[in-house]
Amino acid sequence: MSRQSFKICFCFRRIFKLRALEPPEEVKVLFDQYSQNGIMSLDDLRGFLVEFQGEYSATREDAQAIFNSLKHLNIFSRRGLHLEAFFRYLLGDLNGPLSAGVHHDMTQPLAHYFMFTGHNSYLTGNQLSSDSSVEPIIKALGKGVRVIELDLWPGSKKDAVEVRHGGTLTNPVDLLVCLKAIKDNAFQASEYPVVITFEDHLPENLQAQVAEMVTKTFGDMLYRPETDQLQEFPSPESLKKKVMISTKPPKESKTSSKKEQWNGEAAASKSDIETSDKDEVDDGENLQEDEEEMTVPEYMHLISIHAGKPKGGLQNWLSIDERTVRRLSLSEQELENATRRHGTDIVR
């Protein structure tokens, strides 16, 4: 465990404890199976690669390369790998999630597959004080990550969109720079679709900016569903070299409904005051109303995977209309609890 401190409001320091990720029970059992007296030797590691990972051509040299990649860590032992070193290998670059080729049927609906997913994909370091940059995005796509998460917030002047981890000391990066980096690097490691998930904290006018940026940046690469009531997701095969947007659909504009009410009152009183100046004002208001109403539909049309939890508890989430598809976000603990009683519904 390590500690980092940060100045809060320039007045006092707050200390945060950074806990090391502990191997889950499944990894511990697996390590015990392929180790002796708490040490995994070179031959033990090769046995793991061949028997468990299915890397049938793995050699002692391949196992040695893994050993060499961990030697700079304090957790490495000359006799072999301790549990922590083995766990570090499992999470490292030498144990990538993508094999050299695809050996599965990729013509089923997208929801039938696990996807290699990033979280806060723009952060260069910790989630409290690090910088935001396109470099982690480029690196992730190069490893085959297929889901990139971007948190969208208004800029300091409220007239631009920036990507940052809200409520922290992290520095922002421009959304447009992130979108261009995704476009340039999306399909170097894999042709299968890239999903961009927006955590949207934007007002309606900035959502219109996002719609314009996304449309201009990706062009024909952008997958736009013909309806927002998809009954089934397309397949990864049919979505090759396509970019998909996933976020919560925006709520109906309150400002638009207020203007509709105001215009209705103005129209009712028009018989009392009939002037050419008044007509020009009404026409201007109606034009502005139409422009505001257009912002939400354009942003809505970008969304190919609708996200969000229905109101209520688990029963409501699982009683989603089966004729439409959506993305349901659950924490690991929520999912674990749900599968104990509602495994069949979760799979459905």
Q: What residues are annotated to the active site?
A: 119, 165
Q: Three-state DSSP class for 166?
A: coil
Alpha helix ranges (H) inside 196-328: 204-218, 254-268, 276-302, 314-318
Residue indicated by tokens 């490292």:
92
CB-based contacts of 198, cutoff 8 Å, min separation 6: 150, 152, 210, 245, 246, 247
Q: Three-state DSSP class for 129?
A: coil
Cβ-based burial of 99 (10 A; exposed 0-12, middle 13-18, buried ≥19): exposed
DSSP state for residue 335 in the 8-state scheme = H
Residue 243's H or E segment, with its range, is: strand 243-247
From the list 235, 145, 135, 237, the residue with the least C-alpha distance to 188 is: 145
Q: Are 154 and 160 in contact (CB under 8 A)?
A: yes
| CA–CA gap between residue 63 and residue 71 (Å, rounded) | 13
Q: Three-state DSSP class for 287?
A: helix
Residue type, 6: F
